[in-house]
Amino acid sequence: MTNELFTDDERFIKKMNCPYMVSWMSLATSDDMVDSRSRLCQQCQRPVLDATQVSEQEILAMQQNNPSLCLKIDIDSDDILLVTDGQIQPYEPT
């Protein structure tokens, strides 16, 4: 998988990548957050938005205003489709 996130009508949102490998469960909730749908990442001090709480349009708008927006998505959600990019590299044992 490329970890790229798209809207239902195939508009690119962002590539999911966390260099700190943080897990959603470990992010502390904070009463100081402006947006109650977000949790603060202690590693990079950026808010991580729970994508299940917002619409695609809101995410797109937020992403355009803030390209470094971090998201949390639930891959078990019916709203998420996983597709590949055509670059299959089958396992070949040496």
Phi-psi region of 21 (alpha: psi -120 to 50; beta: other; left: phi over 0): left
* Residue 49: closest CA among 16, 80, 20: 16
Phi-psi region of 3 (alpha: psi -120 to 50; beta: other; left: phi over 0): left
Nearest-approach distance from CB 54 to another protein, in angstroms: 15
Nearer to another protein, 58 or 79 (CB): 79
Nearest-approach distance from CB 61 to another protein, in angstroms: 19
Query: Which residues are at the interface with another protein (CB under 8 A)?
Result: 1, 3, 14-18, 21-27, 41, 48, 70-76, 81-86, 88-94
Nearer to another protein, 16 or 33 (CB): 16
Nearer to another protein, 21 or 28 (CB): 21
